[in-house]
Structure 1
């Protein structure tokens, strides 16, 4: 809204005209493009950090089964392991200290944190080398491509009205920024999903290996028992033969 009787000073008018001329010039457009590029890098970094930095604390209701956690108890002790069951009133986990099941009530727990270490179903740690061995990039690529498409469309939708009103910046620049930010954000989610799938696979393979080992031990014990019974039967037959000869 213009004020009646108000006239800007000649110096301000010249400064405004100079600024508009600079913005319309090639260096001005390049400067705006650099600013938009810096903004896209900043947004991409924020998107990446938002995925890498998970929540430090979680409530008992948020804890999921098979999640690796660290429990800080009110008596000063710290328990770490894999969750096997939880509710609003209590939480059960296999401890990494003794590989036994322990149940703690909500009144015993001070706080719960996601553990930086993944554990198998017996609360033995899973190394990063094992995770990398079974981790694929399928979800990282799929999420990244999908994020680029979604981000590009969102950036185009946001930037197009601005371009129509001001003839700057070009719509494709906004679409490009959105595509970069979207691809990084969703690719980070895909990488995390690939990692979780690899962890589940390692857990399954270890559990299956443990089951096969138990079956092997049971079979060996059964064979030893058969051999023992055969040996007892052989001794009885020999004793019977000796008695028959003596009579």
Structure 2
């Protein structure tokens, strides 16, 4: 029997109390990583993920922090390093998904999308720089979304922030490469989550070649591959996991 592919490594997943973030945390733990589960407010959800990791024989740590606040991010990284002694994988997943027509979109809602998605990734990645560069297999995976490429009505703030995150991914791939750290982005299509509800028209499942929504675990599998040894020669890329939506009707 082969050893888990991420045995001995430590991962931090932001916004991992539910949905895709939760699935990523569980998948990384299943591959042997010690996982820090980050939430901003939903402590009970985050603790449930940690409990699930530990019930399966893994090691988890709940770290509450608002990733838009640098002092809280610094404290979160300090807690992870104090507990596990290293950081090898950073997954910037925290995001917002609320919809609003652009002509009535409050500036505060526009700003909050960038604060969480882009500034959050900035704070976490900069705070983790030294630790990731010390790792023999440092990995950063940012989570964007299909509409960063396609656009979508009612989501100008989210689309713009996710597109900026993809640009940041490419820029950081250059800066981290001399340190052996890979930086990639996973872009999910329509995924079944507790917040999906009725699919918006621009997210119709019939628009994918596979004719269905994805599952959070399918996004997590892509992240886990990038974090493992198989993804070590991949950097600066956006991996689209959307059931062939770009080719569908």
TM-score normalised by structure 1 residue count: 0.23
Larger Rg: 1
Q: Which has the higher helix share?
A: 1
Higher relative contact order (CA 8 A, sep 6+): 2
TM-score normalised by structure 2 residue count: 0.23
